[in-house]
Structure 1
Amino acid sequence: MKIKDIKVFVCCPGRNFVTVKIITDDGLYGIGDATLNGRELAVVAYLEEHVIPCLIGRDAHQIEDIWQYLYKGAYWQNGAVSIAAIAAIDVALWDIKGKVANLPVYQLLGGKSRRAVTVYAHVNGETIEEVLKGLEVAIKEGYKVVRLQCTIPGTEGTYGTLGDKKNYYELQGNRPLPPEHGWSTLKYLNFIPELFKRAREKFGYDIELCHDVHSRLTPIETVQLGKMLEPYRLKFLEDAVTYENTDGYKVIRNQTSIPLALGEKFNTIWDAKPLIENQIIDFVRTAVTHGGGLTPLKKLADFALLYHVRMAPHGAPDLSPVCFMAHMHLDLWAPNFGVQEFVGFGTPELNEIFSYDAKLKDGEIYIEDSPGLGVDFNEEAAKKYPYKRSYLPVTRLEDGTLWSW
């Protein structure tokens, strides 16, 4: 079964998505997600100019060899752009293999380890009271794990609390571009513990809670935050510090018992290796699209299992339903699955383009046993929603210093 053609589609049903479609000489096709938020067209160029010409005529069944060919065969191996392109090819090939076998992809990975995928909801608000109301709704809807984010008083545009502007397009019209947000570590540390104190006082400890720092703190500042949050028993604290210097996480691990989650920006298993083998983190957050596809993510899960680290893949709205369904299969299989980030099933515009059969019940997602990934892409519908240039924001301290967003 040879690869006959590979098409790349860019559309914007509220967010930009890059979708890859691999077509074989016997008429089967598979779908992959190559979205890289804010750098979408760079991935398109990498695919069209450098990847696709090398794959026409190759055996679509040789997933491992093709992955190694695209990674090892390029001298410039790593990086978000190239890895997103490789991931899309890899996932599309798994989709094809599942269709050939007439089995869902999780069966090809090794079968189910659980009945369904536990997901965590996002609850955001401008005030603590607003967040607590949202948490109450989430608990009534059956969620067992919830991420809490709240606007920091005196800080405009706090991460995770943009509400209807979450797609960022409303922020693009005003200069500077990218849009800029303000940040104060002092105000943040003085405020966030109160949010979790109030949440536990009102709802107790049966609901698991998470929080995303989004790499805004230094290691010692995270130690301070961790000690303040320890009484509220978070499931994890996410992205407390930038990951480039992994020794920073040793400082945190040695001084607070708060569980740590990291990895949504990891491109390869080697990014996570020292953190996992030294048991410095508790959850690895690498996404299929940003981590090179299902082929390396299965290896990452197997490696993490040896060190009591659980999988909690990134699930932001800039990952398409193709990546979402790939995560469902990975999560159903992985024996060390922890929890899956979930932002809902998308807008009517999004669901006009992508079709997939997944149901949410009591904080768990169930999928049908469709061959392959169980997701499809409507090329004609996608034409109605052309690409729009968009940037993620940047952050500056109150004195104007550029900071991590």
Structure 2
Amino acid sequence: MKIIDVKAYGLHHPVENPFKWRKGLPGSGEIREQGILRIITDEGIEGVAVTQRAGMTVDYVTRCFKQLLIGKNPLLKEKIWHEIWEMDRLEEFQIMFMGLVDMALWDITAKKAGMPLYHLLGGNSDRVQAYASTVTYDTTEQFLTIADYCIDRGYKAIKLHAWGDARKDAKLCQNLRKHVGNDIKLMYDGSAGFNLHDAIYLGKALEEADYYWYEEPMRESSIWNYKKLCDELSIPVLAAETSDGCHYNAADFIVNGACDMIRTGTLLKGGITGSMRIAHLADSFNMKAEIHGGDQANVHLACGISNCSFFEVLVFGTDPVDFGYPVEPDGFITAPQEPGIGYIFDWNEIEKKAVYKV
């Protein structure tokens, strides 16, 4: 099998229900970017991968990936992963692009094998439990209303993205616990908005409210700060979502006691290859590897491993809608069953609508 062509498309999609994050972070805006990579082989099998950057996708494919891939055997994923890792030394790829090619190559591999990707990754289950991940609302009352909606939809767990004020957020988190009772698992994501002092203060409030995990309260450039945080708290700290370095960096978080759970996911952790390395590394320490939200690729990843508890589904808007996968009445998501990852595109339409392409 040989790669004979590589295409890339950058698209802009209007956002019908823009949403926002904490103070200091941009929200969704009026346009959602989408980058699509398409790898074509001489056997007629195509591999597809999707990311959140339009122009960057076409730029990296044009300058770096196309020349690297043409003529290669797409089943030699390990070799190609390390060649891209070498390129990163000078390119310093934006974090979403370390694994973009890898995802498309795994799509080809699973199609060649005639099985859904999660079977190829180990096949722990064909379903994963979803949790509702909120955007940032203006008032406590809005958060409580959204929580009621999520519980009515079948979710058994809810994660807050709140305002980025340690004292206000602590009060909100405790009010939410009182509102939903003790049977719903609650999580909190700080979106890297705090210093160590405020992160400890908020973490202790989450402990009092019996939250299931405390995610990324600080920037992840300082492992020392995360080690101090973990030493101060009993609530599990979930970290290394946006840190560079894939599994190499995740290993430093784990062995230094700078997290109690580790983040992994295809978009930010080196595709399927990098994500699986992190999941297996965590498993060797009897640690959870929680999957970041996303599309079909991350659903397959969550169903392929045994040490993931939940799959993140973003819930947003005044009239809240689920972003991504349909959640079933019992709060679970079923992995796609067709061979490969399960992306379906009309390439003629994509060719017409692409803002950028190669």
State TM-score, norm by structure 2. 0.85
1:171 alignment partner in structure 2: none
1:9 alignment partner in structure 2: 9
Deviation at 1:192, TM superposition (A): 1.6
Between stretches 189-198 and 60-69, larger displacement belongs to 189-198
2: distance between equivalents of 1:308 and 1:278? 15
Deviation at 1:254, TM superposition (A): 1.1
Q: Deviations over 1:271-312 (max 9, x none)?
A: 211211234313322331221110111111000112232122
1: distance between equivalents of 2:57 and 2:239? 24
1:301 alignment partner in structure 2: 279
1:331 alignment partner in structure 2: 302
Residue 378 of structure 1, aligned match among 327, 338, 346: 346
Deviation at 1:230, TM superposition (A): 1.1
SS in 1 for 2:99: helix
The answer to whether residue 87 in structure 2 is matched with residue 96 in structure 1 is no
**RMSD of the TM alignment (CA)?**
2.4
Deviation at 1:80, TM superposition (A): 4.0
Structure 2 spans left out of the alignment, 5+ residues: 15-31, 318-323
The answer to whether residue 205 in structure 2 is matched with residue 192 in structure 1 is no
* Amino acid in structure 2 at the alignment position of 1:140: D
The answer to whether residue 89 in structure 2 is matched with residue 76 in structure 1 is yes
SS in 2 for 1:285: strand
Deviation at 1:8, TM superposition (A): 0.3
Deviation at 1:75, TM superposition (A): 6.7
1: distance between equivalents of 2:337 and 2:52? 26
Kept in 1: contact 2:188–2:213 (CA 8 A):
yes
1:228 alignment partner in structure 2: 205
Kept in 2: contact 1:19–1:88 (CA 8 A):
no
2:118 alignment partner in structure 1: 106
Kept in 2: contact 1:117–1:366 (CA 8 A):
yes
Kept in 2: contact 1:277–1:307 (CA 8 A):
no
2: distance between equivalents of 1:143 and 1:213? 21
Residue 270 of structure 1, aligned match among 230, 235, 248: 248
1:242 alignment partner in structure 2: 219
SS in 2 for 1:20: strand
SS in 2 for 1:13: strand
Q: 1:91 to 1:242 in 2, by over 3 A?
A: same
* Amino acid in structure 2 at the alignment position of 1:249: Y
The answer to whether residue 190 in structure 2 is matched with residue 213 in structure 1 is yes
SS in 2 for 1:4: strand
Count of aligned pairs between the two proteins: 331
State TM-score, norm by structure 1. 0.76
Q: 1:44 to 1:84 in 2, by over 3 A?
A: farther
Q: Deviations over 1:24-68 (max 9, x none)?
A: 0121101012434xxx42343222112211211111111111112
Q: 1:332 to 1:129 in 2, by over 3 A?
A: same
SS in 2 for 1:373: coil
Kept in 1: contact 2:265–2:301 (CA 8 A):
no
2: distance between equivalents of 1:76 and 1:359? 40
Kept in 2: contact 1:33–1:87 (CA 8 A):
no
The answer to whether residue 75 in structure 2 is matched with residue 61 in structure 1 is yes
* Amino acid in structure 1 at the alignment position of 2:125: R
Residue 330 of structure 2, aligned match among 356, 362, 365: 362
Kept in 2: contact 1:214–1:239 (CA 8 A):
yes
Sequence identity percentage: 28
SS in 1 for 2:89: coil
* Amino acid in structure 2 at the alignment position of 1:134: I
SS in 1 for 2:229: helix
1: distance between equivalents of 2:117 and 2:148? 35
Q: 1:325 to 1:77 in 2, by over 3 A?
A: farther
Q: Deviations over 1:171-228 (max 9, x none)?
A: xxxxxxxxxxxxxxxxx22212221222222221110111121111111221111112
Kept in 2: contact 1:284–1:310 (CA 8 A):
yes
SS in 1 for 2:328: strand
2:43 alignment partner in structure 1: 26
Kept in 1: contact 2:325–2:333 (CA 8 A):
no
1: distance between equivalents of 2:51 and 2:146? 32
Deviation at 1:250, TM superposition (A): 1.3
Kept in 2: contact 1:71–1:86 (CA 8 A):
yes
Q: 1:357 to 1:147 in 2, by over 3 A?
A: closer
Kept in 1: contact 2:131–2:159 (CA 8 A):
yes
1: distance between equivalents of 2:314 and 2:277? 26
Q: Deviations over 1:138-170 (max 9, x none)?
A: 1111101111244xxxxxxx47xxxxxxxxxxx
* Amino acid in structure 2 at the alignment position of 1:362: D
Q: 1:240 to 1:357 in 2, by over 3 A?
A: closer
Q: Deviations over 1:79-127 (max 9, x none)?
A: 342x53341211111111111111111111122x234112211234221
Q: 1:224 to 1:340 in 2, by over 3 A?
A: same
Kept in 2: contact 1:98–1:105 (CA 8 A):
yes
Kept in 2: contact 1:120–1:339 (CA 8 A):
yes
Structure 1 spans left out of the alignment, 5+ residues: 151-157, 160-187, 316-322, 347-355, 389-405
* Amino acid in structure 2 at the alignment position of 1:253: C
SS in 2 for 1:12: strand
